[in-house]
Structure formats: structure tokens, C-alpha cells
Amino acid sequence: MTVDNAAAAMVPGTHIAPQTATSVAKSTTVAKSTAEPTGGPPAADPLAWLADHARAREAAGLRRRLHPRTLAPTADGAGVRVDLASNDYLGLGGHPTVVEGAARALRAWGTGSTGSRLITGTTALHGELEAALADHVGFAAALVFSSGYTANLGCLTGLAGPGDLIVSDALNHASIVDACRLSRAPVAITPHGDVAAVAAALAAGGWRRALVVTESVFSADGDAAPLAELHGTARAHGAVLVVDEAHGLGVVGPTGRGVLAAAGLAGQPDVVATVTLSKALGGQGGAVLGTTAVREHLIDTARTFIFDTGLAPASAGGALAALAHLRAHPELPAAVRHRADELAALTGAPRPAGAVVSVVVGEPEPAVAAAA
């Protein structure tokens, strides 16, 4: 059950599908607050409008609040038995083998990477992790970023720009939405899973280069993209298929290699993948996978790689240990999919493609209440 995506879409003054210069799908807006400043003398408090927006979100049932986790057990002493909210799909975030991998890296390299990847922020662990990820997912090369979010930003802004076209699914994650905006490329937002609309956007022409971008397993709805059909369409028009495997890695495909591997598309020269280390691998970080040329290009051009501090060595060490554990226990992806199927049957939700079970509640307020 995901409340954040719906809430983000309904914040006053924002769009559900704000990626676009040339949108194929209609976007919906919520009226802006009537208290917006209209000019004149300086206000006594130039940030007073924040309170108006907070009240509007409160009235719409869209206020977000932090709920810190603690190490203390519950009142009955049982602790947490079932976690329906975490992205730690395989339970590796607290697994002793993975924790020890992170601890070894922490003892060896310290708490931080000490700089950007191009200066002092690349350790031997980063190289090991990139090689292991590329081998597991089935690509020639990988480049590790500080998060899955920055991996998507670096990938799309590095591969597209003015004069290019990005064709983006209407339900793509916020990191893809922001990457489309920052690329300054025209963006065609196509209805969810609509391959014909993707073909029409590409056939319209007027672009120098084109990317078709989608999630493999969608983070809110839990369904899978039609990757084989999208790849065929992209290839027919000379476009590159970019697939966010955040919810596919570790969950779908042989040994959790992802939806691209399951579809026989991993390693294709016109396919680029992004992954996160913060879901099935239980840690933090992200990566872009593709050809060696893609990796080298992003090292030179991806601003979220060049100017961001490198992934902490402990995160790299934990991810390496998690990946090794996954490969040693190939039954784990099937186990989490079985649990997801059970939850879907219990709640009447559609059968999920991965570990995301989408229970549609309806309105924001009951959705927030149900999440609580």
C-alpha cells in the first residue's frame, strides 16, 4: 500500500504527471492556494504562505509525518512480527552475514568515502561491487551511485538532452520524473503500459536520439512492464530502452537477476538498467548497468556521480555481502513472491509481479489511516 505517490500527486500546485513538454497523457491539477502572493510591498514574513499550504494539505488528508522506528519491543514483548511497509524484501537488512560485511568495510575504510568518486571516494569495494552487480544482472559494466534516486538522475540526464526525446510511462517513479525534467529533453508521457502510445510518440519524429524509460515492476501498482514489447518498439525506431529494476532485482528472474534477465534482455546493447541497493539487498545506494561505453560516458557526464560524495564503504560492503547471500540462496526470490501472492489473495489485490502488493483504498484519508 503506497500513500506517498498519491499524496505527491495531490499537493496544491503540482501535477500528477509533471515530466512533460509534449505530454501524451492528460495530467490533473489541484487548484493553487488562494493565498499566493500577488506582488506589492514585502510581506512581514515572506514564508507565511507555508502555513496556508500546510492547512490545505491537512484538509485534503495529505500531511506527511515521520514515525521513527526504535529498537524497543512492542508493549506485549513480541516485537515486530510482520512488516508490511519495508522495502527490505528478503530480510537482508539485518541479516548477520550482511551486517558483518558492512562492519568489515566500516572497520577497514571508516565511516565515509571521504570524497566524490572521481577524487578519493572510490575504494576497492566500489570496484568489486560494480563487477558483482554487472555479473549478477547480466550486463558488461556497472557504475555505483550514492542512491537509486541519483542513479536515475545521472543516467537520464547523462544520456538525453535538448533535441532528444524521452518517452516515459505515466506511472514512473518520482526519480524518473525529476530526471526527465532535469534532462531538458522533450518528454512524451504515455499511458501506463501502452506500447502503441510509445510507438506513436517515437514515430512522430523530430528527435535526435530517443530513450524509452519504464520501471520493470512498478513501485505503487506492483505490475510488470511489457519489456519485450517495449524493447521491440524501441529497437524498431532506433531508441534505447532504460529500465528501472528497483523492484525487480532480488525478487524476479533467475536467482533474482531481475525482469530484464527473465525476459532475455539483460546485456542487450540498446538496453540500460538502473538498480537500487536499498530494497532486496537491504542497504543503500544505486547503480546504472549497461555497456562499457555507457559506463565511461556517465563517469564523464553524470552530475550526480561527478559532484556527489561516493557511496559509503560500509554500504558497499553490505551490498556485496547481500548479493553473495542472494546468490548462495537462490530460493529467496521465489519465497518472497510466494508471500506476496498470499497477501494479495488475503486482501483481494491483483496478483503482483514482484513483492509490491497494491491494495487500493481509494481516498487519501482512509489510505493514511489504513497505513497507520
Which cell goes with 305? 556521480
Residues in the chain: 372
Whole-angstrom distance, CA of residue 301 vs CA of residue 159:
9
Range 348-351 contact pairs with CB under 8 angstroms and sequence separation of 24 or more: 349/222, 350/222, 350/223
Whole-angstrom distance, CA of residue 243 vs CA of residue 207:
20
Whole-angstrom distance, CA of residue 347 vs CA of residue 360:
10
Query: Residue 5 — left, alpha, or beta (φ > 0 → left; ψ -120 to 50 → alpha)?
Result: alpha
Cell 542512491 -> residue: 147
Residue 282 CA to chain centroid, in angstroms? 14
| Residues 122 and 310 sit within 8 Å (Cβ to Cβ) | yes
Range 292-299 contact pairs with CB under 8 angstroms and sequence separation of 24 or more: 292/140, 292/141, 294/141, 294/159, 295/141, 295/142, 295/143, 297/158, 297/159, 298/143, 298/154, 298/155, 298/158, 298/159, 299/118, 299/143
Whole-angstrom distance, CA of residue 309 vs CA of residue 146:
7
| Residues 16 and 30 sit within 8 Å (Cβ to Cβ) | no
Residues that are catalytic: 87, 173, 215, 219, 244, 247, 279
| Residues 233 and 262 sit within 8 Å (Cβ to Cβ) | no
